[in-house]
Structure 1
Amino acid sequence: MSAFRKAFSTAVAAVLVTVLAAPGALADEKPKPSKTPVPPASMSTVGGELLGRPGTQVSLGAGAPVLPKDLTGRSWIVADAESGQVLAAHNAHWRLAPASTLKMLFADTLLPRFPRETVHKVAPEDLLGIGAGSSMVGIKERLSYTVHDLWLGVFLRSGNDAVHVLSAMNGGVPKTVQDMQARAEELQALDTHVKSPDGYDAKGQVSSAYDLTLFARSGLQNADFREYAATATADFPGEMKKPKKGDKAKKPAKREKFQIQSTNRLLTGDAGLEPYRGIAGVKNGNTTHAGATFTGVAERNGKWLLVTVMNPSGKESNAVYKETARLLDWGFAAADKVAPVGELVPPRSVPTDGGDAGGVQASAGPGASASAPAPSGAAAAPRAGTKGGQVAAGGSAGGMGVAVALAGGVLVLVAAAVFLVNRRWPARAAAVSSGSPAGSVSSPPLEASAPSKSSAPLKASAPSESSASSKSSASSKAAPPADPAPESPASSEPGSAKD
């Protein structure tokens, strides 16, 4: 009887094990939702049809190196800054939170409006509305700063306080946001929806690797933009130092200064990261929602490349900079051995091959109300297409900007590089007229000069304290597009800038 009971107990236990294990087994057979965000199946085709496809787009020719394996960015792009040809891209039009890289659009919009020597006394209301945890340069209310000081604060320290003061000078944050959106429309950056001038996380605020690269390329047409983007360190005004009580000399109060350093780690270097050879800017960003973002421009052997990386998931320190460096290395090695997969389109108002203003007719993707055809008489920008497995894109060579190389941590000029103003965009027709929007005003070619504390107007220089004053220009009157539904995971809590 005991043997029977033992056999019966064993059989019951086996059944129970099978029954209890079955639900788990069945559950394992069901596909689990991926925690990794997936790009939309269809995105904007501005700049070429291939750029609207999810995944990596590249057309390797004979002898071309393969792309780096350790790339984790949700979106990235490698482009020739002069011709506008896109050498490779990964989810180029995926709309993601931009963080402080959006400050490139802010600078491209506002830099031409205020002469750099203009002095502004900061009112308490100028600093209202700055997001919690924002990166700051240290501006104090009721103290005066030059526009030059403020732009140093924007570019070097990614100071949201400097952004808000400049926005106040421009008529307020709402007007500045509207002006930035209009500028994005003019640049045909149709993935971008501006909600805050400083890039601080806001519901519905998105951009793309493609658009951020357009902002950088446009901004680099401005001599001041190039100077600020390439500046590694600078002195910044501090508080007023009052004379001590009982001082018989009765010396007047003196303004203190403190040094600020760029947050662009490819420019300054960091622990385990050397400054990138040939780097000349442009802008980094980092928020809770956006992750790390970066757009960089570099020169090597006369070739200028722009690279943007958004939200890498790699665990290595300074991942966004290291992945940018890998893509730059690849781009310089592959530049003449790949067929372009698209192009960086010129601004709407810039003449294209036929002499008419540009204007894309390619789809701008979901939620982009700015995808309407160009005004009557405007020619569509060349689109990339495929034939026999090879990709071809229109556009001719154009000038890029000041040639600055980074050697041994010190910025030096590459004397042979000259800024060709009348070839700034991929257009073979007339040069831009002086009535064009900000960032496209004609001026004499830049001349290379040795690093100095002060340089003559419109001369390229290494990081310095002074350069040419910018001219004011009217903002575009294009209406901002409708609010999009963000294509990246939404967050109900605002992010904190950590630039």
Structure 2
Amino acid sequence: MPAPKKTARRALTVTSAALTALAALAPGATAAPSPSASPSAAPPASMSTVGGARLGKPGTQVSLAGGAPVLPKDLTARSWIVADAESGDVLAAHNAHWRLAPASTLKMLFADTLLPKWPKTTKHKVVPSDLADVGAGSSMVGIKEEETYTVHDLWLGVFLRSGNDAVHVLSAMNGGVESTVAEMNDHAEELQALDTNVVSPDGYDAPEQVSSAYDLTLFARSGLQKKDFREYASTVSAKFPGETKKDKKGKTSRKPFEIQNTNRLLSGDSDMDVYPGIAGVKNGNTTNAGSTFTGVAEQGGKVLLVTVMNPAKDEHNEVYKETARLFDWGFKAAGKVEPVGELVPPRSAAQASPEPGDGAAGEAGGTGKGAAGTKPVAGAPTADGSGGVGIAAGIAGGLLVLLAGGVFLINRKWPLPDLVRRRTRP
């Protein structure tokens, strides 16, 4: 579908999270190379060094200290990363900045960009033009023309069913695909996700549309600052409005149907169990991208983010299996490895210098009305009547970002979702 190409980004340098208050910029970070529609079979010899010099090197990067477990030997993904969601430390990575097709994991950036736009209760009647550019073979939640949906319905469609139809309706509400793509690219740059070039807001394969395991992890970490994002990402199943139909007597009704999250670490499958402590985030699969996935999980008070892109092994649910193995390794290795890099803060946060003693900033929730000093609410259920499985009021995180105000606070925790607590109990 037609969409503007992103202009070349400025080379940005980064510093560690511990020094963000000083807004210091570390030397050596380079701008990512120009996007490629057909990435090579091997990673580039030199990639972006945002987050640290070692993250720009091809191959596996890890620094095992005494007692640290070795990495799993059966990893086949082209690119992956394991990071501490609180500190931002990258525990290990493999071709972290390799620019690859992201598939529907790009919807994390879409959601992080657009979630604050409307209250959940906002309604929209779908017109034919809203769905005109949905790609052939796209994943769909089942949106019908001339039907009315709430924004809450549409976000459930995006997160649970990876519905490209829901993405396009929300994009239409936002002024169209072109303006939405431009906003997503701007937001990616604000997050210092410089490997990313958005062409299609739903992640559908498009020439020059690329991201990286590093950038996808930044999107997840930023999105998880938002209460609504955490709720949707951890919802296992929900009711979605069906099509209005008339019976023989002319009476109309609209029966909802159940949708389930396609994240198999969250919902489980015939060949795998739900991963202990999982709380999102987003999966994807296209012809060009293969299978991609970013997940967040908590065990023993430690919260990890793992991104896996395009496993070579052709086995059912392989992307989830490799993610699970990396989670297992990360929880065992935490505190026993030297970080090989870091997840950088947003540019506005790196430039801000909060004074000691500043109060905590409020969340940027789905209404876009986060206020200073507000606290997340534990155990708040979703409004879709999903029987409790969609309850998630906050994923633990040590870094609270309020992009509008440029506030970046360290060591702030949220209450864990009930979903996580249930699945981590013995």
Equivalent AA in structure 2 for residue 89 of structure 1: A
Residue of structure 2 equivalent to 1:463:
390
The answer as to whether partners of 1:75 and 1:311 remain within 8 angstroms in 2 is yes
The answer as to whether partners of 2:226 and 2:365 remain within 8 angstroms in 1 is no
Q: Distance in 2 between matches of 1:474 and 1:221?
A: 13
Aligned to 1:448, which of 371, 375, 378?
378
**Between 73-82 and 439-448, the greater mean CA deviation after superposition:** 439-448
1:210 positional shift: 0.2
Equivalent AA in structure 2 for residue 165 of structure 1: V
Q: Distance in 2 between matches of 1:100 and 1:435?
A: 25
SS state of the match for residue 349, structure 1?
helix
Equivalent AA in structure 1 for residue 277 of structure 2: G
The answer as to whether partners of 1:454 and 1:464 remain within 8 angstroms in 2 is no
Aligned to 1:153, which of 143, 157, 164?
157
Q: How does 1:60-459 map to 2 (within 5 A)?
A: 60-245=64-249, 252-351=251-350, 354-355=353-354, 441=370, 442=372, 444-449=374-379
1:317 positional shift: 1.6
Equivalent AA in structure 2 for residue 171 of structure 1: G
Q: Distance in 2 between matches of 1:69 and 1:80?
A: 21
The answer as to whether partners of 2:223 and 2:229 remain within 8 angstroms in 1 is yes
User: What do you get for the CA RMSD once the two structures are aligned?
Assistant: 2.9
SS state of the match for residue 142, structure 1?
coil
Q: Distance in 1 between matches of 2:109 and 2:306?
A: 16
Q: Distance in 2 between matches of 1:68 and 1:164?
A: 39
1:432 positional shift: 7.3
Identity of matched residues, % = 68
Residue of structure 1 equivalent to 2:421:
none
Q: Distance in 2 between matches of 1:430 and 1:45?
A: 32
Structure of higher CA gyration radius? 1
Q: Distance in 1 between matches of 2:303 and 2:294?
A: 13
Q: Distance in 1 between matches of 2:72 and 2:326?
A: 7
Residue of structure 1 equivalent to 2:20:
none
Q: 1:132 to 1:232 in 2, by over 3 A?
A: same
Query: Which digits, 9 at most, give the CA deviation of each residue in 1:112-148, with x for residues without a partner?
Result: 0011100100011000111110000000000000000
Equivalent AA in structure 2 for residue 68 of structure 1: P
Aligned length: 357
Equivalent AA in structure 2 for residue 189 of structure 1: A
Q: Distance in 2 between matches of 1:237 and 1:452?
A: 15
Equivalent AA in structure 2 for residue 127 of structure 1: L
Q: Distance in 2 between matches of 1:48 and 1:353?
A: 21
**Under a length normalisation based on structure 2, what TM-score does the superposition of the two structures give?**
0.78
User: Structure 1: which 5+ residue stretches go unaligned?
Assistant: 1-34, 357-427, 456-460, 468-472, 477-499
Q: 1:435 to 1:261 in 2, by over 3 A?
A: closer
Equivalent AA in structure 2 for residue 234 of structure 1: A
SS state of the match for residue 242, structure 2?
strand
The answer as to whether partners of 2:235 and 2:392 remain within 8 angstroms in 1 is no
Equivalent AA in structure 2 for residue 124 of structure 1: P
Equivalent AA in structure 2 for residue 228 of structure 1: Y
Query: Which digits, 9 at most, give the CA deviation of each residue in 1:215-245, with x for residues without a partner?
Result: 0000001111001000111110001132323
User: Structure 2: which 5+ residue stretches go unaligned?
Assistant: 1-38, 395-402, 407-426
SS state of the match for residue 68, structure 1?
coil
Query: Which digits, 9 at most, give the CA deviation of each residue in 1:467-494, with x for residues without a partner?
Result: 9xxxxx9899xxxxxxxxxxxxxxxxxx
**Under a length normalisation based on structure 1, what TM-score does the superposition of the two structures give?**
0.67
Equivalent AA in structure 1 for residue 281 of structure 2: V
The answer as to whether partners of 1:156 and 1:261 remain within 8 angstroms in 2 is yes
Q: Distance in 1 between matches of 2:204 and 2:336?
A: 39
Q: Distance in 1 between matches of 2:210 and 2:350?
A: 28
Q: Distance in 2 between matches of 1:258 and 1:153?
A: 12
Query: Which digits, 9 at most, give the CA deviation of each residue in 1:292-325, with x for residues without a partner?
Result: 0000000001100000000000122211000000
